[in-house]
């Protein structure tokens, strides 16, 4: 309230040559603080940079300022993490049976079968 009265006194008293630069500076800082309330409130938001730039560029309009404030106060949707369920793990015996079936079908040679068998058993 004191700051507002100092501001009014500085702006309405034109006949007085005593300008208080501290009051002007405080009024400017107070106006800047009010202007950037949406950016200050939304500083921990996931999209804080976007909120800041909306506030900086469109905050002069009431709609831009209110939009930035609403965005800053909104709770971001939780990010959804999709985790694939692990497939059924086949045992070494199952893998050996598959290799045996491939060897019998002629898909792999006996040498390849032995190499894969050694890899599985090691």
**pTM (predicted TM-score):** 0.49
Range of the domain at 97: 92-121
What backbone phi and psi angles, to 5 degrees, belong to 31? -65, -40
Total of domains in the chain = 2
**Would residue 81 count as lying in a domain?**
no
Q: Judge if 11 and 62 occupy the same domain.
A: yes
User: Residues 55, 108: one domain?
Assistant: no
Residue 75, classed as helix, strand or coil, is coil
Co-location of 59 and 11 in the same domain: yes
pLDDT at 7: 54
13 shares its domain with 69 = yes
CA 36 from chain center: how many Å? 20
pLDDT in tens, 82-112: 887 776 777 888 888 888 999 898 888 889 9
Structural domain contains residue 49: yes
- What does the pLDDT look like over 33-73, one tens digit per residue? 999 999 999 999 989 999 999 999 998 899 999 999 999 99
Instruction: Answer for the pair 68, 81: CB distance below 8 angstroms, yes or no.
Output: no
Q: What is the DSSP letter of 107?
A: S
């Amino acid at each position: 309230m004191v700051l507002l009265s100092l501001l009014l006194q500085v702006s309405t008293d034109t006949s007085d040559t005593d300008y208080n630069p501290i009051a002007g500076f405080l009024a400017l800082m107070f106006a800047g603080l009010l202007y950037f309330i949406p950016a200050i409130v939304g500083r921990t938001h996931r999209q804080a940079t976007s909120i800041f730039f909306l506030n900086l560029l469109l905050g002069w309009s009431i709609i831009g300022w209110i939009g930035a404030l609403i965005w800053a106060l909104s709770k971001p949707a939780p990010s959804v993490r999709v985790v694939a369920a692990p497939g059924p793990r086949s045992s070494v015996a199952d893998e050996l049976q598959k290799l045996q079936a491939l060897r019998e079908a002629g898909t792999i040679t006996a040498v390849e079968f032995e190499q894969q068998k050694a890899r599985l058993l090691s």
